[in-house]
Structure formats: C-alpha cells, structure tokens
C-alpha cells in the first residue's frame, strides 16, 4: 500500500512538472492526448468492463463539443453553463444509444451504434445549426477565476485535474460492486441475470458512463480548440479510438490511457505519413487481436502466468467438507404451505412442443425431484421457472405471486436461485467475486451513491466481502477464494456454483443435474449439502438422472416424459407406477440392485 | 405516382448492389459466425481493381470483373488466414480484427490509387428503356441480372454440393466437422473467398453507378450490412430482400431529405431492428437476460 | 487385416492440469475395449487426445502398422477411425440424411454412400423415418443414433465412442448396448469410454478403470464386474 501511494505521489509530481519542459506544439499534443485518454477510458468502461460494443463513442464526443459550440457561439451562453448542459445532453444521447443494447448485443449492437454515429456525422455535416461542413468557431475561452485558459500550458492543468478525477472514479467503479456486476454481465449475461444482476439497467448505465466520459472530452476539446468541424468526429477517429483501446488493453483503464497517449503521440510523429500511420495502426490492431488480446496492459499478467506455472499455491489448496453443524435437518410437514406452483404450463418453440400442460406443486421445505428421459423437458421447465423462457401458456406462481412474465434477474430478487446443467461460472472473476455478485443485492438505481457517497459504497463492499468469506468457509471453499474457476477441478467448480446460488439467500434453489460428472464420494457430499441447505429453510427442486441419489434425497418426485407429467408422488409410489417403469426405466429389473429407501431413511 | 415507381426502380439497382454486399456478409456469418467489418474495404478494393483493369489495361468490362473477383478473393483468403487463430474463440475480438483490416485496406487503396476517386462510364451504351412511362437504364437491368445469377449459383452451391454442406457443418459445429474429416480452416477460407468475391462483384458493378474512391467502402459496406441484418443475418433470401429494401429506402430518403438521407435511413433501420431484431428471416438473438 | 490400436505413454496437459498421465493400452483388431471411471478421471481426454482434438504432451499411437502420432484430427477418419463425440454433436441445422452423408465426407458421395446409408437405415429404422428432418429437432436418443450412424458412414475399422449413454434413459441405454454388441460382432473394433460401467461390461470384453488420469486397474470384464473396489467407487452404489 505504501508502495502504491509513493508511486501515485511520484506520478502527481511528474504530471505537475511536465509542461515546463515542453514547447508550445508539444503541449498542444499533450492536451489532445489527455482528451483522447478520457474518451478511451469511457470506451474501455463500456466495452472492456461491461462488454457492450460501443462504436458511437466518437459521436458522444461530437454531441458534447457541438452542444458547447452551439450554445456559446450561437446562443450566447457562458462556457461553463454550456458545458454542464452539453454533458447532460450527451448523457441523454448515451441513454438513447443504450436502448438498442437492451434488445441486442455483439454485432447487432455494433452496427446500430456505428449507424447512429454515422447518422450524427451526416446531420452535423448538413444542418445549418451546426455550421454544415465548415463547422462552428467562436467558442469563448473558458473563464477560470482570472487564470487565462487561452494558454495551452494552463489549460493542461485543467485537463489533468479532470483526467485524474475521471481515472480515480473509473478505477473505483471497476473495483466495487457495480464494476463486478458489469464484469459478470460481460462474462455470462445469462448466469448474471440468474444471480440477480439487473441486466437492462446495467447496460444503460454502461452507456451512460461512456457518454459522461465522452461528454467531458467534448467539453475540454471545445474549450481547447474553440472550433468544431465534422471531420474530428468521423468514423476514422472512431477506429483510431478503438485501436487505442485494443492496443492499450480494453479491460484495464491504465491500458486505455496508455493506448490513447501512445497512439496520439505516434500519430503526431507520423503526421507527414498519415496514410502509412493508418496502415500501421490497422495492422497493429490485427496483430494485437490475434497475439495479445488483452493489449499492452495484459502483458505483465501473462508474464506472471508463465513465470509461476506449476508453482502456484493453488496446487496445495484443499477442499474442506461442508459445514453442516449449524443446521437442523428435517422434512416438511404434510400441510406446509405451497411455495412454488406451476399451473398448466405449455412451452412451444417454432412447432416443437417442449412442455404441454405441466402442473406441479412444491411445498415449502421440500426436496422435490424432477426426473424423466432425455428430452422430456426438464431443463425447459427450469428455464420457464427461472424466467429464461416465457411460457406459451400457463402460469408460474411463487409464494402467491404470479411471476410468469418476469425476467431472470427479477425472479432472482424474488428468491429463485439456480445452477446450470453445463456450469456457468464467471470466467474472469475469482471464486470469491463469483459469490459476491449474487450476494450483492443492491439495485442499480442506487448507482448515484457512487458519485455522491463513495465512502458508503466502500464500507458496504467491505461488509459484503466478510459475508462472502463466511459462505465460502461454510462450503469448504475458503482456500480457493482467490482462484479463477477454470483452474479448478470440475467437482470444486460445481460446489462454487451452488455456493454462488446460495449467496442470494434464496427461498427456492433449482439444481439442474448437480451430480453429473461427480464420483460416488462427491455425490454423497452433494446429498449432505442439499439436506443442509433444506435444513436452513430453503426449498430445493432437483433435476437428476442418478436414481439412487433421487430416491434417497427427495420426498416428492415428478416424472416427465415427452413434455408431459406421467407420474407424481413419493419415491415409493413413483417407482411402482407402471407408466414410469415403461417409459423411463424400460425394464424394472434395472432397479434391483438399488435399494428402495423406506420412509424413515428419506427423512434422515 | 410515376415518380414513386421511378424512385423504386432507381433504388432497386443500387439495392441489388447492397444485396450482393449483404450476401457476402451473410455468407461469412452463416458459415463462420463472423461479422466481417472489413467487407466494406473489400468491396472498395474490388471496385478499384475492376476500374483499374478496365480503364487502364483497357480490358473488356466482364473480364476486368473476373480479374477483380480473383484478386479480391485472394485478399479474403489472406484475411481469413491471419484471423484463423481467433475462429470460434472470441467473436468480439475477431470483429475488431476485421475492423483493423478494413482500415489497412483503405490505407492501401489511398497509397496505390490516391485519395481522389475516378468516375467510371457505364459499359453498356444502349439507350434506356421506357416501360409504362418509367425509365429503366439498361445497366440497371444488367446489375439486377448479374446479382440474381450470383445468388442462384450461391444457393446451389450451398444446398447441392459436398463443399457447401461442409461449409454449413463447420458453422454449426467445427469440432464435429473436423472429426468427419473436414478441413475447417480451408472451408472457412473458401467461405471468406466467396464472400470477398461477392464483394468484388458488387464493387465492380457499382463503378458506373457511383464514384469510385477509397472512401466509398464506408457507406456501401454499412448499408449492405444493414440490409443483411434487416433481412435476418445469416439468411440468404433475407440478405437479398434486405439489400433491396435498403436501396429503395435510400432512394426515397434521398428524394425527400437530400443531404439528410443517411440520417433518415439509419433512423428507420434502427427502429425496424428494435422492433424486430431477428430481421425478417433471421435467427433468434434477442437477449432476454 | 490386423488393425490393432496401440497406445503407449499417452499424456495430456491442459494448462497447468495433468488430465492424462502415461496411459498405455491396446485394442486388438475387431474387439471391444472399455474405459470406465468417474468424471475427471481423464477418460474423455484420452479419447480426444487419440483423435487429435486434445493436445498430447507425450505418447505414441499406432494403428495397424502405421504410426499415427503425427496425424492430424481431420485425417483420422481417412485412416479408419470413426468418432462419436460426447454429447452427440450432430449438425443441428442440417437434415438427418445430410448429417449422415457428411460422415462420408472423405468419400466420393456419388459412388460410396448408397450402401453405407442403407446399412445405417437398417441398423436404425427410426433414422430412415426421419431422414428429411432437421437433426436439431431429434430427441437425445435419436441424436445419439444419428451420431453413431454418421461415424459408421466412413466404414471405420475402429470406432471411438465417448459416453454414448450420457443423458439417456435406461431403456435407451440398453438399445444402444444392443447396437454396439452387433457392431462388435460384425468385426468393427470399439473403444468405448463410459461412466456407466454396466453398459461397458456388456459390450466390451476387456476394460480399463481410470482414476485421476491414470489406469488404476484393468482386466476382463467378468472379473472387474465382481471386484468390490470397482463396484464401490465407480458404479456409484
């Protein structure tokens, strides 16, 4: 920590002294570089952290600069009032551009944002208000308590202060809950929604943040150059910005800054050979993307990875047994209230009927099994319950509330948690961070606290970490807290997924084939964990093929075949039902060596 | 009323060009799952090469086109080979890689042919036809015919040949494709080359309709792309319909809004995509999370 | 023709994890050998490494008198290896018939596909009924049959099957077992990787039991079937 403070102090002193050694042309370049650094950080936050393709960043830049120009040169506003209004307008545009992001991602979003950027250029080149192709000049020098900001040296200090605040804020966002949720959303939007991340709000927030940075850059640019023209906000500059972020490292704010400053300097050095420079940038982006996707900022991490291969502490970490001593284990009373009810649900996909008229009831405190041959619709049913699919007909009722049309994150906030058949952990987040994402139940609408009350956010995060560590300890995962999931054995990853699901303190936990791929010892541990989870008051619904596990664990079983229920009841009843034997077991003698548990065994 | 139909006819020929561009996009996407932002640059290179060979080397138009398609196909092969390590691994990165290539192609064009463009005369010198009071330039008919022929050939290739089936298989499951003996890299290269060839065809055909310059790739590519998306990305009939629709939409916008035509086109496009993101025939990509 | 598969000293590393450590075994011509063990034991990694789909850090592979160590994944089919991947991996957007034809990609479609296709349809009548349907619309069991049929189209001498019973009901599992036994009896070699030991003992005369990337035990199925160690740990009972 002391080392870091020292480095910051050195950097601050260096930044303060920089202009003294530079000529007037050089300081102009530095001023431009800082503006691009702001833009690059905004783009990095949207693209690298939140995973939203944002090819309209240059348009945010332009909207802000043009707004300042129009308000000051044409409408006689003072610079600073114009600046504030300009940033507000830019954020509004940013939210507007973010609206498509609610419905589409990746290349679709890319083309829409690109198209909107082009539309902006098109408007600005043609409109009288914006001065057409010649642009607007006559923007006044920003007044600053008697300091003459006409001087580019003094303007540098204004910029460096804004930049420092923006950088610190950006770093703060990345390392706190919102940043974590954005990274989770980037890694796996489906799983993020299932643990309660409010995907739509977060996407809009990403665009809003990007537009704030773009707005700041535009204001500074207007005050520096005091002339705006369409060429500055063209597609060519958008691609340059993209190059900065990719070469520097889009997932690191420092990387974005380094990329921005570096490319601005290189571009200036090569101004005589502008086309060659363009060729070089394009070629380097291609090479980076293939050989160094994390950019320059990612190189230290890759060196570290190669250097410590095989010698990591991870190799010696041990999985501890699940701590179930703090829970009582009991099966529910027969008249326990109904927690989850599926009413006549039908699910059709383009002609294929995956579920037809499925109705089932799950009581509070139950461990309810769902079995059936492959393709019978079990995972589809889970997807309907957890909001990933919207049922074609029928209703899902949770605790007397109809939840059929709710999105996954809404269901998560109402107390539904789930695991996935093919394991969906957040790949760039540590085990602890994976749990933190579901633990953190604050809504995105409290995001304003980041700007106005950061201390509160920080303190809350410290509290969250303590709770996350408690959950990890309970699940025996304490020694793996800082590991990346892909480095861990399969069985341990499975347990992390359950721990993450439990982080949200759900009312009902949906487990989708949790025993797949586990050996007998691990299956026993799983059964113990499930019983303890139920003992803590959580209702469990479990899809499984492992008949031995299902029979010994579940009080109630529902059997699906071809999208319809063919039997439901206690294990003893279901196993004896001829329809079940026919459709699923095929031959009753297959079960001969698996003992059918008596009722007392099931309770224990 | 006559103006209405005239505008439609005018929009259809440029629309056919957009359709070819859209076809190239859709093909590469359908077989490689890749959105190729360098496609616009490839169209532009195709236009330049065709123009260079027909004006400078005085080759007959059709022959110049063939040469352009061959050379541009080669460019496509280079792009695929370089980006091959990313295939099936990270689409966002591959997308950015193609953007990088697009920049490189534009810079190359400026270095080779200069930044100012050339006007290309129409290779067909017959008088325009008059049907029901609407003027139809013969060249427009040529463009439509060539585009239609190219589409039919493409569809036959995909549905009826072994390589076509292999290309589709690679798109769906590249590992299973490898296990049955398909050379995935080569299949992708062919897809890319065909996509580039279509782009070159579009570029070569568009010469007489627009001004040939290194900057032309930008709007052509984007409109073709928008056409592909509107019709449903990855769908061949969708690409045709989408491209034609964008061409007609563009023609109407240019007639009514002049300089603002691109703005209008894009706003309309964005609205359509928001309402129906899958396009008319396309895949389901609406994220419900 | 004696096409025997010989594997010596096979090791597979994924990043820092050693999935397979120094595994050696043989599959005699026309016979069936099984590899069983829990998930994470390295069974699937072994099979994928044989096919060239996973990186081999060491080991030699021989098929007949040919050294296969340097052969690429896409050329394995040409040497007579048929592969049925874990999870089926049919081509969902193509018809059942197209899927099968692609199994014979390395052959001339006009000349060498009519007979194999007829044989596959005879083996799996339900596929013949659904020949025009898109493979993605088939149920799990049907897709498994399609995957096996696709591998058969190239007339392989040795088939590598990766957990064909996964996700299937016990009834379908016994159907698959019957098909595999029939293929074995027709002289096609089988290397069957499975978690379901019961199925494997039925089909394969010899089995290896893998644990933590190594071969823990091996022997005749009749003996392993009654070995208490196997029963307790790997049958999940």
SS3 state at C9: strand
**How many angstroms separate the CA of residue C109 from the nearest CA in chain A?**
32
Average pLDDT of span B90-103: 83
Interface touch A100/B270, C-beta < 8 Å? yes
Shared-domain flag, residues A433 and A491: yes
Q: What is residue C210's predicted lDDT score, i.e. its pLDDT?
A: 87
Are A449 and A519 part of one and the same domain?
no
| Residue A514 near residue A379 (C-beta atoms within 8 A) | no
Q: A203-221, pLDDT tens digit by residue?
A: 999 999 999 999 999 999 9
User: Sheet harboring C214-220: ordered strands across?
Assistant: C81-84, C158-162, C189-194, C32-36, C206-211, C214-220
Task: State whether C171 and A489 contact (CB < 8 Å).
Answer: no
* Secondary structure element (H or E) that encloses residue C119, with its range: helix C114-123
Q: What are phi and psi of A591, to 5 degrees?
A: -85, 0
- Is A440 found in the same domain as A338? no
Q: How crowded is the C-beta side of A377, counted as CA atoms within 13 Å?
A: 27
Angstrom distance (rounded) from CA A300 to CA A177: 25
- The pair of structure tokens assigned to A220 is 């500074």
Yes or no, beta carbons of C92 and B176 under 8 Å apart: no
Say whether both A116 and A157 belong to one domain. yes
Question: What are the distances in angstroms from CA B164 to CA B169, C17, C50?
Answer: 9, 39, 28
The answer to whether residues A85 and A223 belong to one domain is: yes
Q: Which of A505, A539, A566 is the last residue of a domain?
A: A505
- Assess contact for C151 and C84: CB atoms under 8 A: yes
CATH of domain C1-80+156-237: 3.40.50.300
Residues of chain A where predicted confidence (pLDDT) is lower than 70? 1, 308-318, 324-334, 350-352, 373-375, 517, 519, 581-604
At B286, the pLDDT band (50, 70, 90 cuts) reads: very low
Structural domains counted in chain A: 3
Residue A15 is assigned to a structural domain of this protein: no
Does A597 or C35 have the greater pLDDT score?
C35
Range in A584-588, B250-254, C56-60, C168-172 with the lowest mean pLDDT: A584-588
Q: Is A603 part of a structural domain of the chain?
A: yes
A-C interface: how many C-beta pairs under 8 angstroms?
77
Does the pLDDT of residue C18 top 90, yes or no? Answer: no
What are C220's strand-pairing partners? C206
Q: Is the pLDDT of residue B287 over 70?
A: no
Domain boundary among A505, A526, A541: A505
Q: Are B88 and B172 in contact (CB under 8 A)?
A: no
Nearest-angstrom CA–CA distance, B80 and B67: 20
Residues in chain C: 237
Looking at A234, A264, A280, the residue that finishes a domain is: A234
Domain boundaries of chain C, sorted by first residue: 1-80+156-237, 88-155
Give the integer Cα–Cα distance in Å for A455 and A313.
Answer: 33
Flag if C91 and B173 touch (Cβ within 8 Å). Answer: yes
User: What separation in angstroms does the CA of A70 have from each of A66, A79, A371, A463?
Assistant: 6, 11, 66, 48
Contact assessment for residue A330 and residue A535, using Cβ atoms and an 8 Å cutoff: yes
| One-character DSSP codes across C31-90 | -EEEEE--TTSSHHHHHHHHHTSS-EEEEEEEETTEE-TT--GGGTGGGTEEEE-TT---
pLDDT at C34 over 80: yes
Q: Using CB atoms, which residue from A243, A285, A290 is nearest to B86?
A: A290
* Residue of A115, A116, A242 with shortest CB distance to B96: A242
- Identify the H or E element spanning A412: helix A408-414
Does residue A94 share a domain with residue A218? yes
The pLDDT tens digits for B8-26 are 888 888 899 999 999 988 8
- Those of residues 142-201 in C touching chain A at CB distance below 8 A are 167-172, 174
- Residue B121, burial from CB neighbour count under 10 angstroms (0-12, 13-18, 19+): exposed
Q: Are residues A60 and A202 in the same domain?
A: yes
What domain range is A371 assigned to? 318-415+506-604
> What mean pLDDT comes out for the span B169-191?
89
Which residues 180-199 on chain B approach chain C with CB closer than 8 angstroms?
A: 180-184
What CA–CA distances, in Å, run from B35 to A406, B31, B38, B243, C182? 32, 11, 9, 16, 46
| Three-state DSSP state, C11 | strand
The predicted pLDDT at position C233 comes to 44
Q: Which two tokens stand for residue A230?
A: 């369409």
Domain assignment of residue A447, yes or no: yes
C121 pLDDT more than 90: yes
**Which residue of B lies nearest to A390 if distances are taken between CA atoms?**
B288
Q: Which residues contact C213 (CB under 8 A, 6 or more apart)?
A: C12, C18, C19, C20, C21, C23, C41, C42, C45
CB neighbours (10 Å) of residue A322? 21
What are the sequence ranges of the domains in chain B? 18-216
Q: What is the CATH number of the domain that holds A358?
A: 3.40.50.300
Least CB–CB distance from C140: residue in A375, A486, A546: A375
Task: Please name the member of C78, C85, C98 whose beta carbon is closest to the beta carbon of B176.
Answer: C85
DSSP E strands in A321-389: the ranges are 338-349, 352-363, 367-371
Chain-centre distance of CA A539, in angstroms? 28
DSSP A435-449: HHHHH----GGGGHH
Residues of C in contact with A520 (CB under 8 A): 38, 232-237
Do B99 and A290 count as a contact with CB atoms less than 8 A apart? Answer: no
Q: What is the mean pLDDT of chain B?
A: 82
A477 and A407 in a single domain? The answer is no
Question: For residue A287, is it within any domain?
Answer: no
Q: Which of C136, C117, A349 is nearest to B169 (CA)?
A: C136
pLDDT score, position C180: 95
> Per-residue pLDDT tens for B30-80?
777 777 888 888 888 888 888 888 877 777 888 888 888 899 888 888 888
Asked if the Cβ–Cβ distance from C91 to B169 is below 8 Å, we say yes
Q: pTM higher than 0.95, yes or no?
A: no
Give the chain A residue whose CA is nearest to the CA of C16: A310
Note whether A91 and A211 are within 8 A (CB). yes
Phi, psi of C222 (to 5 degrees): -60, -35
3-state secondary structure of C93: coil
Looking at the fold, whether A175 and A111 belong to one and the same domain comes out as yes
Q: Which tens digits make up the pLDDT trace of B205-235?
A: 888 888 788 877 777 887 888 888 888 877 8
Contact A64, A232 (CB under 8 A): no
Query: How far is Cα C145 from Cα C127, in angstroms, rounded to an integer?
Result: 8
Cβ within 8 Å, pair C172-A491: no
Selecting from B165, B175, B178 the residue whose C-beta is nearest the C-beta of C98 gives B165
Residues in chain B closer than 8 A to A98 (CB atoms): none
Q: Which site among B171, B176, B185, B188 would you substitute to test the C interface, given the most C Cβ atoms closer than 10 Å to its Cβ? A: B176
Indicate yes or no: CB of C40 within 8 angstroms of CB of A519.
yes
Number of H helices, E strands in chain B: 11, 4
> With an 8 Å Cβ cutoff, are C89 and B180 in contact?
no
Question: Between helices C140-152 and C114-123, what is the axis angle to 10°?
Answer: 140
Q: What is the rounded distance in angstroms from the CA atom of residue A124 to the CA atom of residue A141? A: 23
């Amino acid at each position: 920590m002391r080392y870091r403070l020292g480095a910051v102090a050195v950097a601050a002193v260096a930044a303060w002294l920089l202009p003294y050694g530079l000529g007037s042309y050089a300081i102009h370049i530095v001023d431009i570089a800082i503006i691009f650094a702001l833009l690059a950080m905004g783009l990095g936050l949207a693209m690298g952290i939140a995973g939203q393709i944002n090819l309209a960043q240059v348009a945010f830049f332009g909207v802000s600069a043009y707004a300042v120009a129009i308000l000051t040169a044409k409408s006689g506003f003072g610079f600073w009032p114009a600046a504030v209004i300009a940033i507000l307008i830019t954020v509004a545009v940013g939210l507007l551009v973010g609206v498509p992001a609610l419905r589409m991602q990746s290349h679709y979003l890319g083309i829409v944002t690109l198209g909107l950027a082009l539309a902006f250029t098109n408007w600005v080149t043609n409109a009288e208000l914006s001065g057409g192709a010649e642009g607007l000049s006559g923007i006044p020098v920003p007044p600053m308590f008697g300091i003459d900001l006409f001087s580019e040296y003094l303007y540098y200090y204004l910029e460096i202060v804004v930049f420092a605040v923006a950088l610190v804020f950006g770093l703060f966002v990345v390392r706190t809950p919102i940043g974590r949720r954005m990274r989770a959303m980037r890694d796996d939007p489906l799983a993020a929604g299932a643990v309660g991340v409010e995907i739509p709000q977060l996407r809009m927030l990403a665009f809003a943040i990007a537009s704030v940075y773009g707005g700041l850059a535009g204001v500074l640019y207007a005050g520096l150059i005091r002339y705006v023209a369409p060429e500055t906000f063209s597609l060519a500059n958008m691609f340059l910005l993209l190059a900065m972020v990719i070469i520097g490292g889009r997932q690191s704010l420092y990387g974005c800054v380094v990329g921005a400053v570096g490319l601005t300097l290189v571009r200036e050095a090569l101004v005589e050979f502008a086309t060659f420079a363009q060729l070089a940038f394009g070629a380097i982006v291609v090479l980076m993307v293939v050989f160094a996707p994390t950019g320059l900022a990612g190189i230290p991490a890759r060196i570290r990875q190669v250097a410590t291969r095989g010698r990591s502490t991870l190799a010696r970490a041990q999985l501890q047994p699940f701590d179930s001593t703090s829970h009582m284990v009991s099966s529910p009373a027969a008249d326990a209230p109904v927690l989850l009810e599926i009413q006549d649900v039908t699910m059709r996909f383009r002609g294929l009927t995956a579920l037809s008229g499925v109705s089932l009831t799950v009581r509070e405190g139950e461990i309810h099994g769902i079995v059936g041959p492959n393709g019978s619709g079990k995972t589809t049913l889970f997807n309907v319950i957890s909001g990933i699919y919207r049922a074609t007909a029928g209703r899902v009722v949770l605790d007397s509330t109809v939840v059929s049309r709710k999105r996954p994150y809404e269901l998560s906030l109402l107390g539904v948690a789930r695991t996935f058949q093919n394991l969906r952990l957040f790949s760039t987040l540590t085990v602890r961070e994976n749990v933190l994402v579901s633990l953190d139940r604050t809504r995105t609408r409290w995001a304003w606290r980041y700007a106005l009350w950061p201390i509160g956010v920080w303190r809350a995060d410290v509290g969250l970490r303590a709770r996350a560590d408690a959950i990890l300890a309970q699940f025996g995962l304490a020694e793996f807290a800082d590991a990346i999931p892909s480095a861990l054995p399969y069985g341990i990853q499975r347990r992390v997924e359950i721990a993450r699901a439990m982080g949200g303190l759900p009312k009902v936990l949906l487990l989708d084939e949790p025993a797949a791929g586990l050996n007998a010892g691990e299956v026993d541990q799983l059964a113990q964990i499930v019983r303890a989870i139920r003992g803590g008051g959580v209702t469990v619904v479990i899809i499984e093929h492992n008949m031995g596990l299902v029979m010994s664990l579940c009080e109630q079983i529902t059997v699906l075949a071809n999208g319809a229920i063919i039997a439901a009841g206690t294990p003893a009843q279901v196993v004896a039902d001829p329809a079940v034997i026919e459709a699923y077991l095929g031959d009753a003698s297959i079960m001969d060596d698996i003992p059918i548990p008596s009722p007392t065994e099931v309770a224990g | 009323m006559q103006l209405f139909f005239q505008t439609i006819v005018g929009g259809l020929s440029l629309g056919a060009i957009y359709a070819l561009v859209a076809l190239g996009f859709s093909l590469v996407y359908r077989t490689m799952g890749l959105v190729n932002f360098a496609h616009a640059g490839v169209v532009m290179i195709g236009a330049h090469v065709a123009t260079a060979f027909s004006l400078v080397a005085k080759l007959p138009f059709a022959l110049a086109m063939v040469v352009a398609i061959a050379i541009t196909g080669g460019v496509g092969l280079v792009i695929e080979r370089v980006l091959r390590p990313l295939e099936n691994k990270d689409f966002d990165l591959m997308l950015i890689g193609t953007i990088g290539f697009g920049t490189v192609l534009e810079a190359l064009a400026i270095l080779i042919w200069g930044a100012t463009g050339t006007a290309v005369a129409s290779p067909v010198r017959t008088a325009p036809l008059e049907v029901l009071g609407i003027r139809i330039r013969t060249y427009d008919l040529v463009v439509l015919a060539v585009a239609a022929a190219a589409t039919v050939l493409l569809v036959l290739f995909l549905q009826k040949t072994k390589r076509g089936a292999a290309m589709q298989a690679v798109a769906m499951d590249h590992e299973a494709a490898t296990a049955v003996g398909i050379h995935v890299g080569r299949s992708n290269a062919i897809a890319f080359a065909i996509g580039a060839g279509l782009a070159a065809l579009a570029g070569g055909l568009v010469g007489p309709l627009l001004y040939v310059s290194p900057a032309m790739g930008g709007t052509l590519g984007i409109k073709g792309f928008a056409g592909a998306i509107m019709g449903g990305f990855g769908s061949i009939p969708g690409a045709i319909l989408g491209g034609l629709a964008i061409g007609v939409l563009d023609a109407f916008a240019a007639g009514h809004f002049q300089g603002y035509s691109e703005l209008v086109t894009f706003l309309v496009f964005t609205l359509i995509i928001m309402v129906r993101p899958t396009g008319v025939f396309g895949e389901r990509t609406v994220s419900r999370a | 023709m004696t096409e025997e598969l010989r594997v010596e000293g096979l090791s597979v590393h994924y990043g820092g994890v050693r999935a397979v450590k120094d595994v050696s075994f043989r599959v005699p011509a026309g016979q069936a050998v099984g590899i069983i063990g829990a998930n994470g034991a390295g069974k699937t990694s072994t099979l994928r490494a044989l096919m060239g789909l996973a990186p081999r850090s060491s080991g030699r592979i021989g098929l007949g008198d040919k050294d296969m160590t340097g052969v690429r994944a896409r050329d394995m089919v040409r040497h007579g290896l048929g592969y049925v991947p874990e999870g089926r991996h049919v081509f969902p957007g193509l018809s059942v018939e197209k899927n099968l034809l692609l199994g014979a990609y390395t052959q001339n479609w006009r000349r060498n596909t009519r007979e194999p296709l007829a044989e596959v349809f005879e083996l799996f009548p339900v596929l013949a009924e659904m020949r025009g349907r898109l493979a993605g619309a088939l149920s799990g069991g049907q897709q498994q049959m399609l995957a096996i049929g696709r591998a058969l189209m190239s007339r392989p001498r040795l088939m590598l099957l990766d957990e064909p019973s996964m996700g299937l009901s016990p009834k379908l599992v016994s159907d698959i077992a019957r098909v595999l036994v029939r293929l074995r009896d027709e002289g096609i070699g089988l290397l069957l990787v499975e978690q379901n030991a019961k199925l494997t003992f039925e089909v394969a005369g010899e089995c290896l039991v893998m644990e933590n990337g190594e071969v823990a035990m091996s022997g005749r199925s009749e003996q392993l079937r009654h070995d208490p160690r196997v029963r307790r740990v790997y049958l999940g009972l």
